[in-house]
Amino acid sequence: MKPLSVGRFVLAVFLWLPLCFGAWYAAAKPHAAIAGRLAWMLVNMLESGLVSAIEHPANMLVFVTRIAVVTPAGEHAVLTAEVDPFVYTFGLPLFLALMLASRANAWRILAGAVALLPFQAWGIGFDVLAKIGTQMGPAIAAQAGLSRWEMEAIALAYQAGSLLFPALMPVVLWAVSCPRQLGMLAPALARAAPLTPRDRAGPATPSPPSDGELPRGRP
């Protein structure tokens, strides 16, 4: 296969992105349902029985918990945590655009999209736990049975799930799925990298010996 030009590859990615974002938005509801189900399993694995059900109005995910609350009107209800799945799944169209620009086969694209699901579920699940453990007050956290160190760990995991995974994992999975394409891009990227002052100067040449100084290594 002919080595890929960096410019042509980037252009192909940008051309694929609108189509991939459109497909992602069209499939948002079933995609969010799958990621939300995995997030539900993750939350209940970490805090057994905390979430009793999950609802999916429009494109949102609503996690129904076992925590009892009293509304301002004096009515008894259960606490719910609402999450926007778009925040955690927007990396999928980026991954698809990278793979399509690399001309990857359908099976690799499908495998990579499935591999993204646990990271998306991580972000959604820890968003729920962060809302319950750190954003709704100490009384709610106490009802959920969350200790101080657990809340600190949840806050850290939430940052990773919301800031790192959505944008980083699509690129990592693309690099793992298409090492040959990445290898073809590497020489072009190296040539495009700016030269350092030492690179511009070239290799250093030894200075000639001064008068009366014998070259090193001779008696």
Domain ranges of the chain: 6-189
Q: Indicate if the pLDDT at residue 62 is higher than 70.
A: yes
pLDDT score at 198: 58
* Kind and range of the H or E run holding 26: helix 6-26
Residue 182 confidence (pLDDT): 75
Q: Assess whether pLDDT exceeds 80 at residue 138.
A: yes
Question: Span 183-206, mean pLDDT?
Answer: 59
**What does pTM read for this prediction?**
0.81
For residues 56 and 83, is the Cβ–Cβ distance under 8 A? no
Cβ proximity of 152 and 69 under 8 Å: no
pLDDT exceeding 70 applies to what percent of the chain? 82
